[in-house]
């Protein structure tokens, strides 16, 4: 297991390297001299020149990348345009609200998705199964931002039950978490059902049933445990979607998180912040994939020998 | 040797795509196909049947609720929402079509070639694919928009940037599973050139998975495009693109919810239709799921 883990960690190093190159090139892909927008709209020629020298923008790209990497490793991602604060500090302000939102959103998606998927697989081809599958098909097709708006119209405006935005107490979590978790829950339900149908119709479950095992033990201990591999994989993929979905959902609910920060930064052309956020989101996604692979290996020892 | 064995799955697979009867048995796929056809008709004839202009303001009827005169109500400029939706279908759906098709056309040869040639070429290309797909979809799109600036054309480019590696990865996966089959070996032994094997023999047998991915990609592209429109990075007002309509209508959510309901329903239905068809095709192509 340790060897597998180590190999998997080593495998992501080239990907992280590539992602950092892409994030680095991001600023250079914008037409014009990066120093001009690093300096901000009202900067003097002298400031621009100073920045050019400071960031080594007159040096070859490879050298510039090296500086970028060294600074990044030391936690220096440059300064935000406008207020001149370190990028990392600004991201720090917005980090926790997004983590909380993503945590509860993913939690909701996993719990509802797995339970609905198991129920659907166990009661295969009944009206319960059809209902769950229809709802899950609708769930993956909702634009998250529109679902968010409709929930506000219904629960905040019409019934006055829940706040329509902001981050003030547990009540303000409910609507954003539902908006964020719905499509994940739907996806996970579909994959859980598919995976469970395969294991429930397998020989070992039939044998277990023949020898008189209780149905609940069959479902959870035998069928579900073996169906877990693909389910874990889809949960990992959903995490990526969740990070993306968080952006639009945060905008609708005026949530003080990274998604809102990203949108404001794009509108203000605050490139150092955009660059760091892209890098951060990609790293989170890569880390999530790593965790998924390790979890997969834990539940399915066969993959470790590949 | 002559025992009545069931047909090998390969044969069944190839017939499945053209088997209309099998498709009709799947109620959800049929519903999805109907939605797709209606959407296509709206794209073609929407502007012709639109009762009002999509852009001329009518300040006498601002934010009018749905009525017989305005079936979906009017927006903050008194423009008929139904008419705007009928005109906007071209934009919202065209982005999905063009984005998904271009991704397929560019991504498929990459996937085929990496699977067929393998080696360092495969390693390098797939590593690049991994790196691009390490950025969650819409975030990559926002990053590209940050470089190119907002606009519908740039939205299509962002969809392609994400769609090409996605197709390459999926086509490669399917191609690897067939490239060592006997008929490919037979073709090679018969003296077929590499390009002939790739296009004549392999591509034809991958039409199924490619079609499935194309349909699902359209659903995804419509979602991404409308999200970008909503965030203000896509089509700009007063363009009646559905996502942009929702961005405009957001301010009136409390007093005129119909401004936000109908464009959203249309995005939802379009995405649902493509997802249902893609899902139905996928089930048909995968014999394991036929139970």
Would an 8 Å CB–CB cutoff place B258 in contact with chain A? Answer: no
Higher-pLDDT residue of B4 and A63 is A63
Q: Does the distance separating the beta carbons of A282 and B134 come in below 8 Å? A: yes
- The answer to whether residue B146 scores a pLDDT higher than 60 is yes
Mean pLDDT of chain B: 81
Can you tell me the mean pLDDT for A287-305?
76
Would an 8 Å CB–CB cutoff place A15 in contact with chain B? Answer: yes
Please give the residue of chain A at the shortest CA–CA distance from B261.
Answer: A150
Can you tell me the mean pLDDT for A229-258?
84
pTM of the model: 0.85
Higher-pLDDT residue of B191 and B13 is B191
Would an 8 Å CB–CB cutoff place B233 in contact with chain A? Answer: yes
Interval A75-109: pLDDT, tens: 778 777 777 788 888 888 888 888 888 889 999 99
Q: Does the distance separating the beta carbons of B227 and A149 come in below 8 Å? A: no
Interval B240-276: pLDDT, tens: 888 888 888 888 888 888 888 899 999 999 999 999 9
Count of residues making up chain A: 306
- The ipTM of this complex is 0.84
Q: Does the distance separating the beta carbons of A157 and B227 come in below 8 Å? A: no
Report the gap between the CA of B280 and the closest CA in chain A (Å).
11
Higher-pLDDT residue of A63 and B98 is B98
DSSP characters over A66-101: HHHHHHHHTT---B-TTT--BHHHHHHHHHHHHHHH
Q: What are phi and psi of A191, to 5 degrees?
A: -70, -40
Would an 8 Å CB–CB cutoff place B178 in contact with chain A? Answer: no
Q: Which of A210-219, B133-142, B221-230 is most confident?
A: B221-230
Distance CA B123, CA B131 (A): 12
Longest alpha-carbon distance in chain B = 83
Can you tell me the mean pLDDT for A188-195?
89
Can you tell me the mean pLDDT for B210-239?
88
Instruction: Tell me how far apart the terminal alpha carbons of chain A are, to the nearest angstrom.
Output: 12
Distance CA A163, CA B77 (A): 29
Single out the residue of B113, B264, B269, B286 nearest to residue A154, CA to CA. B264
3-state secondary structure chain B: CCCCCCCCHHHHHHHHCCCHHHHHCCHHHHHHHHHHHHHHHHHHHHHHHCCCCCCCCCHHHCCCCCCCCCCCCECCCCCEHHHHHHHHHHHHHHHHHHHHHHHHHHHHHHHHHHHHHCHHHHHHHHHHHHHHHCCCHHHHHHHHHHHHCCCHHHHHHHHHHHHHHHHHHHHHHHHHHHHCCHHHHHHHHCCCCHHHHHHHHHHHHCHHHHHHHHHHHHHHHHHHHHHHHHHCCCCCCCCCCHHHHHHHHHHHCCCCCHHHHHHHHHHHHHHHHHHHHHHHHHHHHCHHHCC
Please give the residue of chain A at the shortest CA–CA distance from B254.
Answer: A157
Distance CA B71, CA B257 (A): 14
Please give the residue of chain B at the shortest CA–CA distance from A23.
Answer: B143
- The answer to whether residue A141 scores a pLDDT higher than 70 is yes
């Amino acid at each position: 297991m340790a060897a597998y883990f180590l190999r998997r960690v080593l495998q992501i190093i080239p990907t992280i390297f590539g992602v950092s190159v892409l994030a680095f090139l991001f600023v250079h892909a914008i037409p014009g001299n990066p120093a001009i927008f690093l300096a901000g709209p009202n900067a003097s020629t002298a400031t621009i020149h100073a920045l050019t020298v400071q960031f080594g923008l007159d040096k070859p790209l490879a050298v510039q990348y090296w500086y970028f990497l060294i600074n990044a490793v030391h936690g220096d991602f440059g300064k935000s345009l406008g207020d001149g604060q370190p990028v990392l500090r600004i991201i720090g302000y917005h980090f926790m609200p997004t983590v909380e939102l993503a945590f509860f959103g993913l939690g909701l998606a996993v719990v509802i998705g797995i339970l609905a998927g198991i129920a659907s697989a166990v009661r295969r081809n009944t009206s319960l199964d059809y209902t769950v599958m229809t709802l899950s098909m609708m769930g993956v097709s909702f634009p998250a931002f529109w679902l968010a708006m409709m929930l506000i119209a219904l629960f905040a405006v019409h019934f006055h039950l829940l706040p329509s935005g902001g981050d003030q107490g547990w009540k303000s979590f409910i609507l954003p978490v539902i908006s964020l978790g719905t499509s994940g829950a739907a996806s996970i339900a579909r994959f859980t059902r598919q995976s469970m149908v395969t294991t429930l119709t397998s020989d070992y479950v039939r044998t277990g049933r023949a020898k008189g095992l209780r149905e609940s033990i069959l479902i959870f201990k035998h069928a579900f445990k073996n169906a877990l591999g693909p389910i874990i994989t889809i949960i990992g993929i959903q995490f990526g979607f969740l990070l993306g979905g968080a952006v639009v959902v945060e905008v609708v609910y005026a949530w003080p998180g990274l998604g809102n920060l990203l949108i404001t930064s794009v509108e203000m052309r605050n490139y150092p912040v955009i660059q760091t956020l892209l890098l951060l989101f990609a790293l989170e996604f890569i880390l999530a994939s790593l965790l998924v692979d390790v979890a997969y290996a834990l539940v399915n020892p066969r993959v470790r020998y590949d | 040797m002559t025992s009545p064995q069931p047909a090998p799955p390969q044969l069944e697979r190839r017939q499945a795509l053209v088997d209309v009867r099998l498709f009709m048995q799947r109620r959800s796929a049929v519903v999805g196909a109907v939605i797709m056809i209606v959407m296509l008709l709206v794209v073609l004839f929407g502007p012709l049947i639109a009762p009002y202009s999509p852009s001329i303001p009518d300040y006498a009827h601002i934010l009018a609720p749905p009525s017989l005169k305005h079936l979906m109500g009017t927006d903050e400029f008194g423009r008929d929402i139904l008419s705007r939706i009928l005109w906007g279908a071209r934009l919202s759906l065209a982005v999905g079509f063009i984005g998904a098709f271009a991704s397929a056309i560019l991504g498929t040869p990459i996937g085929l070639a990496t699977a067929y040639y393998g080696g360092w070429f495969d390693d390098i290309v797939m590593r690049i694919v991994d790196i691009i797909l390490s950025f969650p979809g819409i975030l990559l799109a926002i990053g590209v928009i940050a470089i190119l600036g907002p606009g519908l054309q740039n939205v299509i480019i962002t969809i392609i940037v994400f769609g090409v590696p996605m197709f390459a990865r999926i086509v490669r996966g399917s191609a690897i599973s067939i490239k060592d089959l006997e008929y490919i070996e037979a073709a090679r032994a018969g003296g077929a050139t590499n390009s002939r094997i790739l296009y004549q023999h392999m591509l034809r047998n991958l039409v199924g998975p490619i079609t499935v991915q194309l349909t699902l990609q359209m659903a995804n592209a419509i979602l991404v495009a409308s999200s970008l429109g909503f965030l203000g990075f896509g089509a700009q007002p007063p363009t009646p693109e559905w996502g942009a309509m929702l961005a405009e209508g957001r301010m009136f959510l409390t007093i005129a919810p119909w401004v936000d309901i109908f464009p959203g329903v249309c995005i939802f239905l379009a995405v649902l239709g493509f997802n249902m068809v893609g899902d139905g095709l996928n089930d048909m192509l995968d014999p394991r799921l036929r139970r």
